[in-house]
């Protein structure tokens, strides 16, 4: 029995759009929360300064990793969109060739 692969380009394109939307929401949420993640020290005492410094450091790490995740989501979205476009183009080409033979 031959193996067949069925690909739905519209489903791939929809998945690409959903990944892009997820990346956009994640990026927007991080930007909206950024000020709260890097607070000013509550006072000049050693504990307040250290707590603010720790929070800012953790925020920086979170920010860096989240931006990397957003970039990965966008790369996956772009790859899926390109694959969907390729399948659509091939389908149109083969369909035109079949109609030309009829």
Cα dihedral 72, 78, 80, 83, rounded to 10, equals -140
Inside any domain, residue 48:
yes
Answer yes or no: is 67 within a domain: yes
Q: Is residue 86 part of a domain?
A: yes
Neighbour count for residue 90 (Cβ, 10 Å): 12
Task: Report the interhelical angle of 46-101 vs 9-37 (nearest 10°).
Answer: 170
Distance (Å, whole) CA 21 – CA 87:
22
> Contact 21/27 with Cβ under 8 angstroms?
no
The enclosing domain of 95 has a CATH number of 1.10.287.850
* pLDDT lower than 70: segments of the chain: 1
> For the whole prediction, is pTM greater than 0.95?
no
- Residue 66 forms part of a structural domain: yes
Number of domains the chain contains? 1
Domain that holds residue 94: 9-101
31 belongs to a structural domain: yes
């Amino acid at each position: 029995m031959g193996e067949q692969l069925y690909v739905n380009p519209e489903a791939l394109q929809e998945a690409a759009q959903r990944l892009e939307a997820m990346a956009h929401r994640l990026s927007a949420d991080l930007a909206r929360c950024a000020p709260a993640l890097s607070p000013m020290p509550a006072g000049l005492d050693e504990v307040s300064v250290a707590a603010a410094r720790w929070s800012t450091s953790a925020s920086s790490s979170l920010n860096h990793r989240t931006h990397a995740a957003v970039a990965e989501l966008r790369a996956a979205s772009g790859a899926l969109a390109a694959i969907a476009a390729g399948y659509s183009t091939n389908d149109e080409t083969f369909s035109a060739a079949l109609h030309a033979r009829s």
